[in-house]
Homo-oligomer: A and B are copies of this chain.
Amino acid sequence: MATTIETFKASGKFSPELIDELKKVVKQVSIKKGTVLQRTGDSSLSTYLVINGLLKSYTIDEKGKEHIFMFASEKWVIGDIDAHSENSTAQLFIEAIEDSEIEIIDPNFLKLFKQFPQPVLYNELERLLKRTSVLQKRILMLMSHSAKERYDEFLKMYPELVQRVPQKLIASYLGITPQTLSVIRGTIY
C-alpha cells in the first residue's frame, strides 16, 4: 500500500522542501500486538494510518469496562477526531490488536497546509472536524452511559436547547422514550 509520503512524491506537485517537512510529521513504525499508542488524557494526539495489521480505539468507563469505538485495519485511519484542535486531550485509547505496521501522523500535519493560498478547504475541514468530534462523543455516550447520565450530559452541553425543544424530541435524541425521560426528570428534584 502506498504510504503518505510516497503519494505526495508521486503526485509531483510538491517541492522537495515540503516533502522534507512531511517526513518530519509522518513516521512509519512496526508495533507489536498489545502496544498502546495513545492513552486517555494524552495531549499529543497523532493520527494513525494502518498499513497492515489491526488497531482498536476504546474508552474505559468508571466501572473499568472497555468500550470499542473503532476498529481500523489496512488502509484505515484511526485517531481521536479532536486530533487537530488545540488543547484537547485524548478521550480514547488506541492499541494494536495484531502486530501492525503503521504510519504515525503528527497533529501538525495539517498545519503545513494552512498557509496555502486557499484557506477555504482548511476552514471546511475544521468545521467538519468539529462536527465529527460531536459524533464521537455521542457514540461514546450512547454506548457507555445510562439514560439518566445521557440526559444530565445533554443539559450541560445544550442548556439553551432544553428550553426550545419539546421533551419528546430530546428523548428521541437521547435514544429513550418520552415516558422514560419524564420519569428521569421526575427523579431529579
In the complex this chain forms, how many copies of it are found? 2
A151-178 contacts to B, CB under 8 A, are 158, 160-161, 164-165, 169-170, 172-173, 175
> Per-residue 0/1 for A92-109: is the Cβ within 8 Å of any B Cβ (1 yes, 0 no)?
000001100000000000
Check: A138 CB closer than 8 A to any chain B CB.
yes
Check: A184 CB closer than 8 A to any chain B CB.
no
- Within the complex, the shortest CB–CB distance from A5 to chain B, in Å, comes to 12
In the A-B complex, the 10 residue pairs with the smallest Cβ-Cβ separation, listed nearest first, are A68-B173, A121-B121, A135-B135, A68-B172, A132-B132, A143-B175, A142-B142, A116-B118, A125-B125, A113-B121
A interface residue numbers (CB < 8 A to B): 8, 11, 13, 54, 56, 58, 66-68, 71, 73, 77, 81, 97-98, 110, 113, 116-122, 124-125, 127-129, 131-132, 135-136, 138-139, 142-143, 158, 160-161, 164-165, 169-170, 172-173, 175
